[in-house]
Amino acid sequence: MALGILRCRLDAAEPSEPPLTVAFFLSGKCRPPPSLASLTASSSGHPTASHGYGQVSCAAGGVYNIPAVMSVNGFQEGEEGGPARCDGQYHSDDLLLVSMTSKWYGPGLRCGKMISIKSSGGITVQAMVVDDCENGCGDNEISTSAAVWKAMGLDTSIGEVSVIWSDV
């Protein structure tokens, strides 16, 4: 079972209102409570009924043992996608890197942060989040560099493997 804190950023519908960050303790799957979209707050950050939020984005911090499918991704120029979303740069596939599905990436809250990825064989590797795989990933997918696969002793031609990941 996954345990942790879900941090959500609510961007105000009115540009003059600052974003609000809300944290929830959670267990189970990483997803916002159904009532999250209806949260409102004043510019002081205190709940109010007068100001709505047009954009809600969530990402977990401190979550552990999240089951996922791991695929291989190229982070170098000329490979599968464009530059990494976190820094706008291309990166060597020799580095331990990961791109996450949007629900885990959030609005960049994990950019530059390390996650721990554990294979079904029990090998654990830490990789840095550098990208959101947006439309290129499945709902429960992380896409990693070939270096992560090599560190786990896995053949990239397998395509996809089941893993468990955690925030570091």
- Both 108 and 40 in a single domain? no
Tokens 């291989």 — which residue? Answer: 72
Highest mean pLDDT among 11-15, 16-20, 147-151: 147-151
Instruction: Judge if 33 and 95 occupy the same domain.
Output: no
Residues 29 and 77 both lie in one domain:
no
- pLDDT for 128 beyond 90: yes
Give me the CATH number covering residue 99.
Answer: 2.40.40.10
Please, what is the end-to-end C-alpha distance for the chain in angstroms? 17
Same domain flag for 77 and 51? no
Q: Tens digit of pLDDT for each residue in 105-118?
A: 877 888 999 999 99
| Half-sphere exposure (Cβ direction) of 109: Cα atoms closer than 13 Å | 21
User: Residue 91: its pLDDT value, please?
Assistant: 95
**If pLDDT is split at 50, 70 and 90, which confidence band does 45 have?**
very low
Would you state the structure tokens that stand for residue 39, as one six-digit string?
């949260």
Residues 53 and 85 reside in one and the same domain: no
Shared domain for 81 and 25, answered yes or no, is: no
Q: How many domains does the chain have?
A: 2
More confident site: 127 or 25: 127
Residues 70 and 15 in one domain: no
pLDDT, tens digit, for every residue of 74-94?
A: 999 988 778 999 999 999 999
Same-domain pairing of 79 and 145:
yes
Which CB contacts under 8 angstroms, 24+ apart, belong to 41-49? 41/10, 41/17, 42/17, 43/16, 43/17, 43/18, 45/18, 45/20
Same domain, 86 and 147: yes
Tokens, residue 130: 């550098």
Boundary residue ending a domain (21, 42, 61)? 61
Instruction: Pull the structure tokens for residue 1.
Output: 């079972």
Q: Answer yes or no: is pLDDT of 37 > 70.
A: no
Q: Which domain holds residue 57?
A: 3-61
DSSP tag of 158: G
Tell me, yes or no, whether 12 and 40 share the same domain. yes
The whole-angstrom separation of Cα 127 and Cα 32 is 25
Strands 124-132, 97-100: pairing kind: parallel
The rounded distance, in Å, linking the Cα atoms of 19 and 21 is: 7
Q: Containing H/E element for 91? A: none
92 and 16 inside one domain = no
